[in-house]
Amino acid sequence: MSPEDYLASIINRISESDFIANSQTLREYSNPNRAHLRMRLTFTNNTYLEFYEYIEHSDDERIYVKSYSYHWADQNNRLIRRWDNARHFPNMDNFPHHIHLTEDEVIPGKPVNIFNVLDEIEKIIATL
């Protein structure tokens, strides 16, 4: 899969989602080896997700999400959850992947991409 195909699959997923009320592309760049996407999605429950992914095409022809942040907040900009791989918790298990449950509470995470995050958010919204 090329970086351009990966970006197209993200746009397709967003356009097919019943949980996403609005989407705005803030930045998009791609070439045969790399891509960057920053978007803001508003969900049907008025929460939003602002995210970015820096994507690289690996030597084995796969897509690798090199850097990411998925910031999910309510309509008053209060954090619900943030998944990221910023390198600011070097002693945490699974470094650098972590999840902010609040601004002060951070737990180990695992590598994720926008598809994983949307699956989790949609599952939570569906139970509300």
Spatial neighbors of 94 by CB under 8 A, at least 6 apart, are 108, 109, 110
Question: Is-above-0.85 flag for pTM?
Answer: yes
- Identify the H or E element spanning 83: strand 79-84
Looking at residue 94, the DSSP 8-state letter turns out to be T
Counting every residue written for the chain, the total comes to: 128
The Cα-based distances of 50 to 1, 13, 22, 73, 118 in angstroms read 24, 16, 12, 8, 12
> Could you read off the pLDDT of 4-57 as tens digits, one per residue?
999 999 999 999 999 999 999 999 999 889 999 999 999 999 999 999 999 998
Which is higher by pLDDT, 2 or 106?
106
Per the structure, the count of domains in the chain is: 1
- The parent domain of residue 20 ranges over 3-127
